[in-house]
Structure 1
């Protein structure tokens, strides 16, 4: 029972971590483009 509870609890945390990792990558790409874009013009 303990393992099932921890598994159920860890699954959403893993999803949340994956979401935050992908979001941080997206924000990093956006910030880099915003920094580099003015120099390209």
Structure 2
């Protein structure tokens, strides 16, 4: 499944599920950035 297909499937979900997924992804990305030395301003 391509990233485009995943996004299209995610957009079919209820907004509450989309928000939950977005929050999980944001925290994961922030964690990855912090692990490589990025600090929030």
TM over 0.5, yes or no? yes
Gaps of 5+ in 2: 1-12
User: Which protein, 1 or 2, shows the higher relative CO under an 8 Å CA cutoff with sep ≥ 6?
Assistant: 2
CA RMSD in angstroms, aligned pairs only: 1.8
TM-score relative to the length of structure 1: 0.57
Normalising by the residue count of structure 2, what TM-score does the alignment of the two structures yield?
0.57
**Runs of 4+ that moved beyond 4 A:** none
Give the structure with higher Rg (CA): 1
Higher helix share: 1
Q: Give the number of aligned pairs.
A: 26
Unmatched runs of 5 consecutive residues or more in structure 1:
1-10, 37-41
